[in-house]
Amino acid sequence: MAETYDDEVLNYDPNRLIDALIAKMNVRNDASLAREIGVPREVISKVRHGTRPIGSSLLLKMHEASDISIAELRQLMGDRRKLWRISSEGGKPSSEVVDVQ
C-alpha cells in the first residue's frame, strides 16, 4: 500500500478502503470480500451506502483478513482521529471516538 497520502486520501471515504481491500485480497466484489472478512455481505453494502460506519470490530476483521495494519486501514478510509476509547453503556459495549487534535 502507499506510504504517502495526498489530500484526497485524507477525506473520509470508506469506499476507498473497501476498494483497496478488494484489490489487495484479490477478490472479485463486495460479496467476496465479505466472505473473506467473515461478515454478511449486507455489512459491506451498508458501509458503501453510508448507513453503517466501520466500527472497531469490523476494522479488526479487515486487519486480520488482509494483514494491513489498522493504522493504514484507518488512513485509507480517511479516519484521522487520534484516540479511540471503548466504553460500556447499558451492559452493551460500544466504541466512542475522541478527537484529540
* Cα 37-49-64 angle, rounded to 5 deg: 15
Q: What confidence category does residue 89 fall into, taking pLDDT thresholds of 50, 70 and 90?
A: low
Reading the block at residue 78, the C-alpha cell is: 480517511
CA dihedral 43, 70, 33, 55 (to 10 degrees): 0
Query: Which of 9, 22, 80, 81 lies closest to 48, judged by CA?
Result: 22
Exposed / middle / buried, residue 45 (Cβ in 10 Å: 0-12, 13-18, 19+): middle
For the whole model, what pTM was predicted? 0.71
- What pLDDT does residue 17 have? 96
Domains for the chain: give ranges and CATH numbers: 7-98 (1.10.260.40)
Q: Name the 3-class secondary structure at 83.
A: strand
- What pLDDT does residue 42 have? 97
Mean pLDDT for all residues in the chain: 81
pLDDT digits (tens, 9 = 90+) for 2-14: 444 455 446 889 9
More confident residue, 63 or 79: 63
Cα-to-chain-centroid distance, residue 34: 12
